[in-house]
Amino acid sequence: MLKKEEQPSASPDGMTRFLWWLAAADIDILNECRTEKERFRIIGISVLVTWIFATLAWGYFFSTILNDDLAIGLLALFFGFAILSIDRTLIAAMSRAQGGIKIMPLIFRLVLAITIGLFVSQPVVLMLFKKDINAQLELSRQTKLDAYRQQLTKLNAIELGKYTQGITEGKQKLADKSEELKVYREAYIHETDGTGGSGRIGESAIAKVKKMAYLKSEEELQAMERSWAPKQRELETQINRLHGEDSLKEAIYLGTLTNGFLAQIEALNELTDTHPPVQQRYRLIVFIIVLIEVMPLLSKVLMPRGEYDEKLAAATTQGAISAQLEADKGEALQQHYQEAALASDKETIDQLFAASSDMRKEQVDELVKEWRNKDDNQYRRFWQQAKKLLIGKM
């Protein structure tokens, strides 16, 4: 039997392989590293926690703006997977880095992770402070509604004041006329009971005059009331119209005061501004959530380089060297092919000229005989025929 230390390591289960995949590890290389497996399980667990956390946060975020559960679930899974892809990319980039950890790339990755953490933290904070935020939303809604009503009142102040003033002036005129009628009636009564200026009891001449004044004032009051009634109804109708328009505008404005994501963020800011304890806990929760998002990257940074990193670096270097050798080999073969093809072409041309030497001599003799019989003006044409025959060029 094999000794215990010489026995081959057991094949990792599906969960372990999944955690290694989350940690962006090369499973074939990691299987050869006995001391590195648990380290990458820890990194994979941190990535898994971040993935689940981001998916839940995105799900709550979309639940504040959508009512379709299926769409909320699909969008939460998609954006959660996007966060997972970013985390795996950051970890894989650090694993492939050569010559240790460089400051600027590390700072960039940390800033990116912190930015994602700050954004993901907002839905989680809203979920944790949901009851307080809902109460603040009601207060904010009432405050905004009161401010909107003041704006409407200010907007309609001139027109409403005109109608109100018209009613006030009309009622005041009626009151003055009623007071005048009361004075005339009392004067007539005093004159008939002997307490008036004449001191006589009964309808004397003076009493009759006062009675006529009293009756005339009463008729004027009745006529004034009859003429004022339709004017008053018209003014009240205009006032009711303005109030109805304001009520409609308030209803429309209330419809815009939703409990969406931005409204909850605004309510949360109001809570943190007015309640210092809430502000402290809000900052603490945001810090913890950002730490969760940065945790995979920090776990990769804080853990020292081990056997896996060395083997991965060696495999990467060996792969680069092999690729360069293959490229050099291809270039050498190409050069050799061109040289061999050139030599072969030269040999073929030499054989062709050697085989056709006797035939070309006979053709040259015929051309010379033909040239002697031609004029000088045809010399250029003859030379073109000769070149075509001897060297194959026009």
**Residue 289: is it exposed, middle or buried by C-beta count within 10 angstroms (0-12/13-18/19+)?**
buried
CA 210 – CA 185 distance, rounded (Å): 8
User: Which pLDDT score, from 0 to 100, does residue 382 have?
Assistant: 59
Taking residue 90's Cβ as centre, other Cβ atoms within 10 Å add up to: 24
Closest Cα partner for 170 from 222, 232, 221, 233?
232
User: Which pLDDT score, from 0 to 100, does residue 78 have?
Assistant: 92
User: Which pLDDT score, from 0 to 100, does residue 8 have?
Assistant: 46
User: Which pLDDT score, from 0 to 100, does residue 193 have?
Assistant: 67
C-alpha distance from residue 171 to each of 225, 229, 245 (Å): 9, 10, 26
Return the CA Rg of the chain: 52
Closest Cα partner for 76 from 23, 123, 21?
123
User: Which pLDDT score, from 0 to 100, does residue 215 have?
Assistant: 82
Phi first, then psi: give them for residue 118, nearest 5 degrees.
-65, -40
Convert the pLDDT of each residue in 305-358 to its tens digit.
666 666 766 666 776 777 777 777 877 788 878 888 788 777 777 777 777 666
C-alpha distance from residue 384 to each of 180, 191, 353, 367, 388 (Å): 140, 156, 19, 11, 6
User: Which pLDDT score, from 0 to 100, does residue 4 have?
Assistant: 41
CA 175 – CA 218 distance, rounded (Å): 13
User: pLDDT 10s digit of each residue in the chain, 394 long?
Assistant: 444 444 445 677 788 888 888 887 877 777 777 777 778 888 888 889 888 888 888 888 888 778 888 998 999 899 889 888 888 887 777 765 555 555 666 677 678 777 877 777 778 788 778 888 888 888 888 888 888 888 888 888 888 888 888 888 888 888 888 888 888 787 777 777 666 665 566 666 777 777 788 788 888 888 888 888 888 888 888 888 888 888 888 888 887 777 777 788 888 888 888 878 777 878 888 888 888 878 877 777 776 666 666 676 666 677 677 777 777 787 778 887 888 878 877 777 777 777 766 666 666 666 666 666 555 555 566 566 666 655 554 4
Contact between residue 278 and residue 132 where contact means Cβ atoms under 8 Å apart: yes
Q: Is 67 helix (H, G, I), strand (E, B) or coil?
A: coil
Does the global pTM surpass 0.85? no
Taking residue 64's Cβ as centre, other Cβ atoms within 10 Å add up to: 18
